[in-house]
Amino acid sequence: MATEKRGRQKLIGGAILTVCLIGLILYSGGFFTGGDIKPGRVAPAPTPQKQYQTGQAEKVDWPAVEEAVGTFRSRTEAKVEARMPGRVLQVRVAPGATVKEGDLLVVLDEEEAKARVGQARQALAAAQAAAELARQEYGRAMRLKQRNAVPQQTLDRAVEAKNRSAAEVARAGKGLEEARVSMAYSRVTAPAAGQVTRRLVEPGDMALPGRTLLVIETGGAMRLEARVREGLIGRIRLGQELEVNIPALNISRKARVEEIVPAADPATRTFLVKAALPQTPGLYSGMFGRLLAPVGKETVVLAPARALIRVGQLPMVLVKTGQGWRKVFVTLGRERGERVEVLSGLSGGETLALEAADAR
């Protein structure tokens, strides 16, 4: 009997433990709470007693847009190139350096240029000596001709030799001047004031005419170069102001369309659109941006950004009702100035509490 009693007690204890475990599992799974909180679901909370400033959730017709991604570039950019061949001896600047017009940027080996200057000097000296001899021959021929001691042909040859030697002197002088200018090209200077953005050469490299050594941004303003699909190009025109989003700075700016390249890329079926922005601190060439191209109208619900309350990653608002304030979880879309788009949770017309973060 005692053994049977102990067996029944164990059986009852096991059943109680099983029931407790099942209850714990159901509670953890939200069976007793009615499910997860979804956007638009009212979260039960005590009614705050504080009085808040209020704002309205509004349903408005808003321009619908489509994003075109692109890259920010400087509106004015100078590519610094060598004007003579030569080996690079020094690069005086690094990317990010600010330079003034005329600042020394790159020094090239000028030994070859010096040799050309020496050759030009020797050529000029030889031309001057030949010209002096031609002048003497001309003077002698003139004196003999005055005494009818030589024929006219001899005098004509002397005149021609004098003129030719004078031309040779002028040409040799130009050659010396050209060699000196070429030697000056061994010191590459900044063509304008700005900021160095790229350095494409190092000491020891060979500089050639047409090869870019450095890139300098000479203007503070930027423009976004974005690829717009061919179906939208008819909605964009020169001079139009479009919104540009800068994700890295978490801001948006108005940009004016300056250029539309009138040819589509056959690989992507897109057009290149360039939109200029006002000077924006923190914006650098090469950063990512989005051009918002208009595609029509859409009806959206907008709420004041000051009405948002964030609990972790969950945004919500306080909605005024006849019984007081209620917390309503919402799903957000794009920011639109001082208001934010509400995708779900509000239908428009609600009265919202502003700056109610302490109601959490």
Tell me: do 252 and 285 sit in the same domain.
Answer: yes
Tell me: do 171 and 243 sit in the same domain.
Answer: no
Tell me: do 157 and 242 sit in the same domain.
Answer: no
43 domain-assigned = no
Tell me: do 71 and 106 sit in the same domain.
Answer: no
125 domain-assigned = yes
23 domain-assigned = no
Q: Are 179 and 113 in contact (CB under 8 A)?
A: yes
Average pLDDT, the chain: 80
Residue 274 bridge partners (DSSP): 225, 259
21 domain-assigned = no
191 domain-assigned = yes
Among 50, 104, 302, 139, residue whose Cα is nearest residue 214: 104
Whole-angstrom distance, CA of residue 295 vs CA of residue 304: 25
Q: What percent of the chain has pLDDT over 90?
A: 9
Give the structural domain span for 326. 61-75+220-359
Question: What does pTM read for this prediction?
Answer: 0.47
Task: Give the containing element (helix H, strand E) for 5.
Answer: helix 2-28
| Average pLDDT value for residue range 265-278 | 90
Q: What is the CATH number of the domain that holds 116?
A: 2.40.50.100
Q: Which of 135-149, 271-285, 341-355 has the lowest mean pLDDT?
A: 135-149
320 domain-assigned = yes
**pLDDT tens digits for range 100-115:** 888 989 888 877 767 7
Number of domains in the chain: 2
DSSP 142-208: HHHHHTT-S-HHHHHHHHHHHHHHHHHHHHHHHHHHHHHHHHHTTEEE-SSSEEEEEE---TTPEE-
Q: What is the CATH number of the domain that holds 71?
A: 2.40.30.170
- Which pLDDT value is given to residue 48? 46
**pLDDT tens digits for range 190-201:** 888 888 888 998
b (16+ CB within 10 A) / e for 316-326:
bbbbeeeeebb
Tell me: do 84 and 206 sit in the same domain.
Answer: yes
- Which pLDDT value is given to residue 69? 92
328 domain-assigned = yes
Tell me: do 82 and 201 sit in the same domain.
Answer: yes
**pLDDT tens digits for range 49-86:** 567 788 888 888 877 778 899 999 887 778 888 888 88
pLDDT at 354 over 60: yes
DSSP 91-134: E---TT-EE-TT-EEEEE--HHHHHHHHHHHHHHHHHHHHHHHH
Q: Are 255 and 217 in contact (CB under 8 A)?
A: no
**pLDDT tens digits for range 304-351:** 888 888 888 888 888 888 888 888 898 888 777 788 888 888 888 888
Tell me: do 257 and 348 sit in the same domain.
Answer: yes
- Which pLDDT value is given to residue 353? 87
Tell me: do 303 and 205 sit in the same domain.
Answer: no
N-term to C-term CA, the chain: 61
What are the residues whose beta carbons fall under 8 Å from the beta carbon of 18, sequence distance 6 or more?
none
**pLDDT tens digits for range 112-139:** 767 777 787 888 888 888 888 888 887 8
119 domain-assigned = yes
